[in-house]
């Protein structure tokens, strides 16, 4: 009988020993590796998924989803190169460009200052098969030396930790939310927490079947409004700034519908490539390289809208301190999108409406923040690595830790029973 009891106890201990391994995937601070069961829904959503922990910086296809991300960005870069080549051949006057900017600014509820504003919009080319021209996208800030750090496709398990890094450095972030994940309570809570921490909330919009030809204009319009309404329900305002899911694959028709609904489409002119690079230093190098290339070409700092992905298995979470160090050392200032555009009304009153509104964190209010405190974030990150203190916005992860600790405590409590069974 005592051997049967010992076997039962030993089985419990083996189960307890295995439990932390399954939960450690979302608790490690350096390189996070998701369990295979968690990869399927993320891959299906188009997320880039890393299935190894190799630190090499290779453009290897770790999953079909990663290949899609890389291909989308390569297409975007090729398109930008072609547009730059075509633009250099044009002899249009600056007055015409100013008038175009004025019209686009006016549609966004902004006033364009010809004397001081930098060009912030990019007009893409008409894509093959499109009857409508693409809507201009915001790709830079109005003032020299500003950087808007944006995150797309979250919230995920990484989002709360990214926000905590930014909070430690009193740095504003911009999170373009993929509403696919908001039907899970823990991610809805993450969205509410990062909004209440003062970060700007935008929306990443993705067509349900990624085929606009399969939907009517009214169906696309309804889907866009329903997506924005999910965010509005959680934070009491609707997003105004929208990024299309894998923007290189966007279509002029959907862009026109978004514009008619009062949304402002945001692109980027700085890609951190956290979906390819596997170390924070390499991501930060993309920032430094882009800054240098602009200074060399224009003899000025320029301004940037940077894109990162707050999703599992990118280096976005670990790269925050390195990114902020680079921004600080190069003489730039981190801003929210409303500070980037001097927009005092960065939200919509309702998903279906055209009225723009402010909140207590908006540009021009007492709650607005910009800049970064690098020493603060480094100090807090070091302490975090040593003590592994979880903030309020990581409460759902803390609960996971608590369950793991409970399993360990049960295992330790059963050790005396095992000894008794064998030796008494």
pLDDT per residue as tens digits for the range 355-388: 999 999 999 999 999 999 887 666 665 545 434 4
What 8-state DSSP symbol labels residue 136? P
State yes or no: cis peptide before 147, omega within 30 of 0.
Answer: no
The pLDDT of residue 18: 41
Show the beta-strand stretches assigned E in 134-286.
137-138, 146-152, 174-178, 200-205, 238-239, 241-244, 264-265, 270-271
* Assigned token pair, 103: 């019209």
DSSP bridge pairs for 148: 305, 335
Please answer whether residues 53 and 33 qualify as being in contact, where contact means their C-beta atoms are separated by less than 8 angstroms. yes
Position 74 scores a pLDDT of: 62
Asked if the model's pLDDT at residue 158 lies above 90, the reply is yes
Confidence grade of residue 396 (pLDDT, cut at 50, 70, 90): very low
User: Per-residue pLDDT averaged across 107-134, rounded?
Assistant: 70
Q: With 50 as the cut, is the pLDDT of residue 65 above it? A: no
Judged by DSSP in three states, 130 sits in coil
Neighbours of 391 (CB within 10 A): 17
Residue 201 has pLDDT above 80, yes or no: yes
pLDDT of residue 77: 61
3-state DSSP call for residue 105? Answer: helix
Average pLDDT on 238-260 reads: 84
pLDDT tens column, 311-366: 888 999 999 999 999 999 999 999 999 999 999 999 999 999 999 999 999 999 99
CA angle centred on 420, ends 414 and 421, rounded to 5°: 90
Average pLDDT, the chain: 75
Distance CA(141)–CA(121), nearest Å, equals 9
Check the CA dihedral 93-94-99-104 and report its sign.
Answer: positive
Using 50, 70 and 90 to split pLDDT, how confident is the model at 88? very low
Question: How many helices (H) does the chain have, and how many strands (E)?
Answer: 13, 13
Q: Residue 312, CB half-sphere, CA atoms under 13 Å: how many?
A: 27
In whole angstroms, give the CA distance from residue 406 to residue 394: 19
3-state DSSP assignment of residue 346: coil
Strand order in the sheet with 347-348: 238-239, 347-348, 356-357
Alpha-carbon distances of 329 from 119, 284, 298, 372, 379, rounded to whole Å: 24, 11, 19, 11, 17
């Amino acid at each position: 009988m005592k051997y049967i009891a010992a076997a039962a106890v030993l089985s419990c201990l083996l189960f307890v020993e295995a439990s932390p391994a399954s939960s450690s995937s979302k608790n490690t601070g350096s390189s996070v590796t998701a369990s295979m069961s968690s990869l399927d829904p993320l891959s299906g959503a188009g997320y880039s998924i890393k299935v190894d922990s190799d630190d090499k910086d290779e453009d290897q296809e770790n999953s079909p989803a990663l290949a899609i991300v890389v291909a989308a960005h390569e297409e975007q870069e090729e398109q930008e190169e072609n547009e730059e080549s075509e633009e250099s051949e044009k002899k249009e006057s600056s007055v015409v460009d100013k008038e175009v900017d004025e019209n686009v600014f006016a549609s966004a509820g902004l006033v364009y200052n010809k004397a001081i504003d930098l060009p912030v919009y990019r007009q893409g080319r008409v894509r093959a098969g499109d009857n409508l021209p693409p809507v201009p996208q915001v790709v830079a800030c109005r003032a020299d030396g500003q950087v808007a750090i944006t995150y797309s496709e979250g919230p995920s398990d990484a989002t709360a930790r990214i926000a905590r890094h930014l909070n430690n450095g009193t740095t504003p972030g911009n999170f373009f939310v993929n509403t696919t994940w908001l039907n899970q309570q823990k991610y809805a809570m993450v969205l509410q927490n990062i909004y209440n921490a003062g970060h700007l909330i935008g929306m990443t919009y993705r067509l349900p079947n990624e085929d606009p030809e399969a939907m009517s204009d009214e169906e696309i319009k309804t889907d866009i409004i329903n997506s924005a309404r999910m965010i509005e329900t959680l934070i009491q305002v609707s997003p105004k700034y929208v990024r299309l899911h894998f923007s290189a694959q966007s279509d002029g028709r959907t862009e026109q519908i978004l514009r008619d609904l009062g949304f402002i489409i945001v692109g980027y002119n700085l890609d951190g490539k956290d979906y390819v690079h596997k170390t924070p230093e390499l991501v930060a190098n993309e920032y430094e390289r882009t800054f240098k290339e602009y200074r060399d070409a224009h003899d000025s700092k320029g301004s940037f809208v940077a894109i990162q992905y707050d999703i599992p298995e990118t280096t976005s979470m670990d790269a925050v301190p390195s990114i902020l160090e680079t921004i600080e050392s190069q003489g730039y200032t981190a801003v929210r999108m409303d500070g980037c555009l001097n927009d005092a009304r960065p939200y919509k009153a309702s998903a279906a409406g055209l009225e723009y509104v402010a909140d207590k964190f908006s540009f021009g209010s007492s709650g607005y923040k910009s800049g970064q405190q690098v020493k603060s974030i480094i100090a807090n990150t070091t302490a975090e690595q040593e003590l592994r203190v979880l903030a309020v916005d990581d409460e759902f992860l803390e609960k996971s830790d608590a369950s793991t600790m409970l399993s360990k405590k049960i295992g330790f409590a059963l050790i005396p029973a095992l000894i008794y069974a064998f030796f008494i």
